[in-house]
Amino acid sequence: MAKIIWISDIQSGLYTDKNIELKGWIKRHRSSGKIVFMTIRDSTGEIQCVAKKAEILESEFGEIKNALIESSIILNGLVKSDERAPGGHELSITSVKIIGPVHPKNPFPITESAMEHSEGGETEFLLDNRHLYLRTKKMTTMLKIRSTVFGSIHSYFRNLDFIEYQAPSFVAGAVEGGSTLFEVPYFGKKAYLTQSWQLYAEAAMPALEKLYTIAPSFRAEKSRTRRHLTEFWHAEMEIAWGGNNEVMNHGESLVRHIAKTILDERTEELNILGRDLELISTYADSKYPRMRYDEAVETLQKLNVEIEWGQDLDYSKEKILTQDFDVPHFLTHYPKIAKPFYHRPDPDDEKYVLCHDLLAPEGYGEIIGGGERTWSEKEILERIDEEGTPREPYEFYIDIRRFGGVPHGGFGMGVERVCSWLSGAEHIREVIPFPRDSRRVTP
């Protein structure tokens, strides 16, 4: 039952004037008494197919005359090159079999008019029908770009001999602050869903020295914004013997590599989305400037944005800051009070930590957060106590410092944030198959 012929290959001329068998789904359908026009889609593209009553078995013509959208189908026919047909080719059907018919009592629910009339509005309607919405061009395009982004993250790290390493998803403590922890009942105790792989990566840092992962992270984000999910895919790396600058160099090279890879491999998809390829090519080729937090605050204050020194930059501020950037920018040296305990205080001025966020242009804002870690036992105990965090869940983390601590650092990159930005999405939910937020865990 294997499938051998793909629509993209037909459209590229591989089968012109040949008889073929095609498997796919009906995307559009129109019929008169004597002729049926169908657009058939598969995962690679679409093609116009025509069946004439006089040319195929009467029973088969009867079967497809009233076939409904999204029925699955196997067709045999002759491929013809035809300039008028979308994609340049048309299939002239010689025989046909409906495999999974859609029943007239229960037609495919995603239609223009259903979207218009749905009570909760178009967005909610499409989220309710996400399992079916995945088949639309918009979603398949996004999912292909997403797949390429994942592949390029793996290739970046593997080309540099990083070891892929996995951390647990059930954990006992926070990395990124208690307010976004998901609590899970755990056999009479409490556990949490991981916010980041980092602390467990630090444990493996003396063993593997260069490591990375791509895994889900969880954050109980109550507010629904265009860049927050409660479950997102997190690409993280950790290196021994590296400081803030080296970690930033990797962040910069990784993002450039991702931009270059989608430009090379997903040109068609970027065109479908109307993305400016020049822009992506600038992201792939440019140096990403580095500026200190203080400079960003000054810039914002000059723009009359209300911000006080010491505050973390939330989305509204990053948006303003990055609207006029033409390439991603690093912000470094945030105030210690704005960042979690693991960030290493700057030996030159302990008010600041040796950290960075990478902000994407076009108003997208933070896509990477990382930096150098507090790596001596004395300093980490001070930082934990200063924050008022209990030591107990972090004993394993403190041990890393007790037994041969070395300078090290790493970063975390939100894969959906990167996909959103590079594909020019309006909202982060467009780039993940089943988006999770505070109001939705279905379908």
| CB closer to ligand 4AD out of 99 and 207 | 207
| Stretch of 77-85, 90-98, 124-132, 404-412 lying at the interface with ligand 4AD (CB under 6 A) | 404-412
Q: What is the DSSP string of 149-211?
A: HHHHHHHHHHHTTPEE----SEESS-SS-GGGPPEEEETTEEEEE-S-SHHHHHHHHHHHSEE
Distance between CA 107 and CA 187 in Å, rounded? 45
Q: Is 410 in the site for ligand 4AD (CB under 6 A)?
A: yes
Q: Is 412 in the site for Mg ion (CB under 5 A)?
A: no
Two structure tokens written together for 122: 């178009």
| Stretch of 15-23, 136-144, 163-171, 414-422 lying at the interface with ligand 4AD (CB under 6 A) | 414-422
Which residue in the block uniquely carries the two structure tokens 């919405």?
Answer: 133
Of 332, 396, 399, 341, the closest CA to residue 374 belongs to: 341
Number of residues near ligand 4AD (by CB under 6 A): 24
Distance between CA 413 and CA 421 in Å, rounded? 13
Question: Whole-number minimum distance, CB 279 to ligand 4AD, in Å?
Answer: 20
Pick the binder of ligand 4AD from 361, 369, 405, 435 (CB under 6 A): 369
| CB closer to Mg ion out of 369 and 410 | 369
Cβ atoms of residues 290 and 302 within 8 Å: no
| CB closer to Mg ion out of 142 and 331 | 331
Q: Is 176 in the site for ligand 4AD (CB under 6 A)?
A: yes
Pick the binder of ligand 4AD from 46, 366, 372, 430 (CB under 6 A): 366
Question: Whole-number minimum distance, CB 83 to ligand 4AD, in Å?
Answer: 45
Question: Whole-number minimum distance, CB 412 to Mg ion, in Å?
Answer: 8
Distance between CA 315 and CA 319 in Å, rounded? 6
Looking at residues 343 to 372 of the shown chain, list those that interact with Mg ion (rule: CB under 5 A): 369
Distance between CA 235 and CA 407 in Å, rounded? 21
Partner touching 175 among Mg ion, ligand 4AD, none, CB below 5 to 8 Å by kind:
ligand 4AD
Question: Whole-number minimum distance, CB 333 to ligand 4AD, in Å?
Answer: 15
Q: Is 370 in the site for ligand 4AD (CB under 6 A)?
A: yes
| Stretch of 50-58, 75-83, 132-140, 367-375 lying at the interface with ligand 4AD (CB under 6 A) | 367-375
Question: Whole-number minimum distance, CB 177 to ligand 4AD, in Å?
Answer: 8
Distance between CA 187 and CA 172 in Å, rounded? 13
Distance between CA 435 and CA 228 in Å, rounded? 10
| Residue 170 identity (one-letter amino acid) | F
| Stretch of 93-101, 154-162, 228-236, 387-395 lying at the interface with ligand 4AD (CB under 6 A) | 228-236
Torsion from C-alpha of 426, 430, 436, 437, nearest 10 degrees: 10
Partner touching 236 among Mg ion, ligand 4AD, none, CB below 5 to 8 Å by kind:
ligand 4AD
Q: Cis omega (within 30 of 0) on the bond before 443?
A: yes
Q: How far is CA 88 from the centre of its chain?
A: 32
In sequence order, what are the beta bridge partners of 310? none
Two structure tokens written together for 33: 């008494």
Q: Is 171 in the site for ligand 4AD (CB under 6 A)?
A: no
Looking at residues 367 to 406 of the shown chain, list those that interact with Mg ion (rule: CB under 5 A): 369
Partner touching 228 among Mg ion, ligand 4AD, none, CB below 5 to 8 Å by kind:
ligand 4AD
Triad 314, 315, 317: Cα angle to 5°:
75
Partner touching 213 among ligand 4AD, Mg ion, none, CB below 5 to 8 Å by kind:
none
Cβ atoms of residues 404 and 206 within 8 Å: yes
Number of residues near Mg ion (by CB under 5 A): 1
- State how beta strands 19-31 and 72-81 pair: antiparallel
**Residue 197 CB: number of other CB atoms within 10 A?**
30
Rg of the chain in Å (alpha carbons): 26
Q: Is 228 in the site for ligand 4AD (CB under 6 A)?
A: yes
| CB closer to ligand 4AD out of 86 and 310 | 310
Distance between CA 57 and CA 48 in Å, rounded? 20
* Length of the chain (residues): 443
Q: How far is CA 15 from the centre of its chain?
A: 35
Pick the binder of ligand 4AD from 27, 234, 275, 343 (CB under 6 A): 234
Q: Is 219 in the site for ligand 4AD (CB under 6 A)?
A: yes
Residues found near ligand 4AD in the complex (CB under 6 A): 175-176, 195-196, 198, 219, 221, 228-229, 232, 234, 236, 366-370, 410-414, 416-417
Residues found near Mg ion in the complex (CB under 5 A): 369
